[in-house]
């Protein structure tokens, strides 16, 4: 017996098409089977009103309606929802026409930080829809599926109780469910232009006017200098060949030339059991024999995204070349959760591997780093080795400084002689 498509075995980076109705809009998403409904709503449809707290189904922050029943979005895989009707807090009411529950929460100040509010609103809606005659004394137990750490629940219970008494004959339905275009989130600070870029990037053969980086501090910065044995003229030939440069970067693959110095490609990286695969595009802003400036952006199949500006320059150093790379990298989603330190180590290690691949390419050999994604063991070993060497240098310098100070104390001055 064959399994339904949504439940068939899929690889980690494979995607599954799923069609559902969200707040009155029919949407079709192509997602990895592991993506939860909460992540699909937030990252792929831009419905960030569904909050994510414990991710274990305990706190109730992610409560939404699935076919009219309250459900935990963090406990459902999006691919399970084929044909389902989803209602989130965004569908409950509009800013100029709030749902009675929203009005009552505002009136009774049934919120403080607001993080639990979407969960309480959707849970309360489910309760009053199925039990409109719920008694006041039963509300604490009926609403105990959502946790709040601010208000002590009193105002929340008062708000729900008022709506319950006002609508014993039936609670009004969601007031903001209609057909509309839903788009995923863009990195913080990127603005509307980045959203247009994401939409354009999905059209084969097309590219946006530019890659606009987010404002504010990047997630990580990279500043790496590597020594190449190849001569400057040999390195210049590699700088002039974008396809060859791409093969020097571990896990990278150039898939299409879009014209006007635009390129489409993918990059893969493996961190233990976590495998990331970014599809995106790059724009070469400056290309000379000794300098390359480009911007790139990509999205991971798991909903994360990366944007970067990279500047590489080659300076003659003896018989070889000093290759200097600087990068500002902006990350969102899963990859950002690895932390700045690990993400920085990964990026620096990739640039160092890139330098080795570029040295081989300049010497006329085929780079051996581009075929496979950088792995966690190599990155970890390299990062630990770098930190150990840095620590050893620091200890040696401190030892020399102590010796110098001790010698100064022991050496008699001219007056003492």
What pLDDT digit, counting tens, does each position of 61-90 carry? 999 999 999 999 999 999 999 999 999 999
* Contact assessment for residue 170 and residue 132, using Cβ atoms and an 8 Å cutoff: yes
pLDDT in tens, 353-408: 888 888 888 888 887 654 454 554 455 555 555 556 566 767 777 777 777 766 66
pLDDT of residue 336: 58
Q: Residue 342 pLDDT > 50, yes or no?
A: yes
Question: E strands of 119-238, at which residues?
Answer: 220-228
Q: Which of 43-47, 58-62, 138-142 has the lowest mean pLDDT?
A: 43-47
d(CA 149, CA 143): 14
* Closest residue by Cα to residue 46 from 255, 199, 165, 163: 199
pLDDT of residue 343: 62
Give the residue with greater pLDDT, 222 vs 338. 222
Q: Residue 348 pLDDT > 80, yes or no?
A: no
Question: E strands of 229-359, at which residues?
Answer: 252-259, 262-271, 274-287, 291-300, 305-317, 320-332
pLDDT of residue 364: 85
Continuous segment of H or E residues that includes residue 409: helix 376-410
């Amino acid at each position: 017996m064959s399994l339904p498509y949504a439940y068939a075995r899929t690889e980690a980076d494979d995607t599954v098409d799923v069609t559902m109705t969200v707040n009155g809009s029919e949407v079709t998403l192509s997602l990895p089977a592991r993506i939860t409904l909460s992540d699909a709503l937030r990252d792929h449809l831009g419905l960030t009103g569904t909050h994510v707290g414990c991710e274990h189904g305990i706190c109730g922050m992610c409560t939404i309606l699935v076919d009219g029943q309250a459900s935990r979005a963090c406990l459902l895989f999006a691919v399970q929802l084929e044909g389902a009707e989803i209602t989130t807090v965004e569908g409950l009411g509009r800013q100029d026409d709030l749902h009675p529950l929203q009005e009552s929460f505002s009136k009774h100040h049934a919120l403080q930080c607001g993080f639990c509010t979407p969960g309480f609103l959707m849970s309360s809606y489910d309760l009053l829809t199925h039990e409109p005659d719920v008694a006041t004394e039963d509300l604490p137990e009926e609403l105990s599926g959502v946790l709040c750490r601010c208000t002590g629940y009193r105002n929340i219970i008062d708000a729900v109780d008022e709506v319950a008494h006002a609508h014993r004959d039936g609670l009004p339905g969601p007031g903001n469910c209609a057909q509309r275009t839903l788009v995923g989130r863009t990195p913080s600070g990127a603005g509307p232009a980045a959203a247009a870029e994401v939409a354009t990037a999905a059209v084969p053969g097309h590219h946006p006017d530019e890659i606009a980086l987010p404002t504010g501090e990047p997630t990580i910065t990279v500043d790496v200098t590597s020594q190449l044995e190849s001569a400057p003229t040999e390195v210049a030939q590699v700088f002039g060949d974008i396809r060859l440069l791409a093969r020097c970067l571990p896990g990278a693959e150039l898939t299409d030339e879009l014209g006007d110095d635009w390129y489409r490609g993918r990059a893969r990286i493996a961190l233990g059991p976590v495998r990331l695969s970014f599809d995106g595009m790059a724009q070469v802003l400056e290309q000379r024999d000794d300098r390359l400036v480009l911007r790139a952006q990509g999205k991971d199949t798991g909903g994360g995204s990366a944007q970067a500006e990279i500047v590489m320059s080659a300076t003659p150093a003896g018989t070889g070349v000093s290759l200097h790379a600087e990068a500002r990298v902006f990350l969102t989603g899963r990859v950002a959760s690895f932390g700045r330190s690990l993400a920085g180590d990964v990026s620096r290690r990739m640039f160092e591997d890139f330098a080795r691949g570029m040295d081989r390419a300049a010497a006329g050999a085929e780079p051996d780093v581009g075929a496979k994604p950088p792995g966690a063991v190599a990155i970890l070993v390299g990062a630990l080795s770098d930190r150990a060497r840095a620590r050893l240098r620091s200890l040696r310098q401190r030892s020399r400084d102590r010796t110098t100070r001790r010698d100064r104390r022991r050496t008699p001055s001219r007056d003492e002689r």
